[in-house]
Amino acid sequence: MQRLHPQAGYHKLTDMTDSPLRPEVGCGAAITDDQGRLLLIQRLREPEAGAWGLPGGKIDFGEPSKETARREIEEELGIVIEVTRLACISEIIDGGDGRHWVSPIYAARLVSGAPRIMEPEKHGGWGWFAPDQMPEHLTTPAITFLDATANGAWQRALKQSL
């Protein structure tokens, strides 16, 4: 049974402490280049299939999230990154897969390699995007990062391009 939490405006399962359902933990990296562009990949799978987002993935038990970010980006794009800082935390509740994800998002820079799609069954493409030239359909973590770092400039530019 679900009920609406009156102050927060979200659905909450009753007796959550007894529920076998738990949030899952992923992570992502906001990789920027010297021109301030953000590296995005297009997701082909849920959550948020079809949207452009930050590379990253599910954290394995016992693996530090910074290491997960580095590993996932190398697996997905064939590049080596340096994580510079924790930029923000993102949360997706049912992004099309019925699951609840919480993800630290790290700011990062490219150290070596040239991005390429290493998992074509998962990703449709990649690209560098300036804050004022973001693709129309962005994932929740990408929006969370841009909101936390670009002071809404990306939203104004997107509205003007539509």
pTM of the model: 0.83
Would residue 8 count as lying in a domain? no
State the total domains in the chain.
Answer: 1
CATH number at 127 reads 3.90.79.10
- The domain in which residue 34 lies consists of 21-161
Would residue 16 count as lying in a domain? no
Sequence-distant (≥ 6) Cβ neighbours of residue 127 within 8 angstroms: 39, 40, 52, 135
Would residue 59 count as lying in a domain? yes
Would residue 9 count as lying in a domain? no
Would residue 129 count as lying in a domain? yes
Would residue 156 count as lying in a domain? yes
Residue 109: C-alpha distances to residues 3, 73, 106, 162 (Å):
43, 11, 10, 30
- pLDDT over 70 (residue 8): no
Q: Are 104 and 65 in contact (CB under 8 A)?
A: yes
Would residue 102 count as lying in a domain? yes
Pairing relationship of beta strands 100-112 and 24-32 according to DSSP bridges: parallel
pLDDT tens-digit profile of 25-72? 999 999 999 999 999 999 999 989 999 999 999 999 999 999 999 999
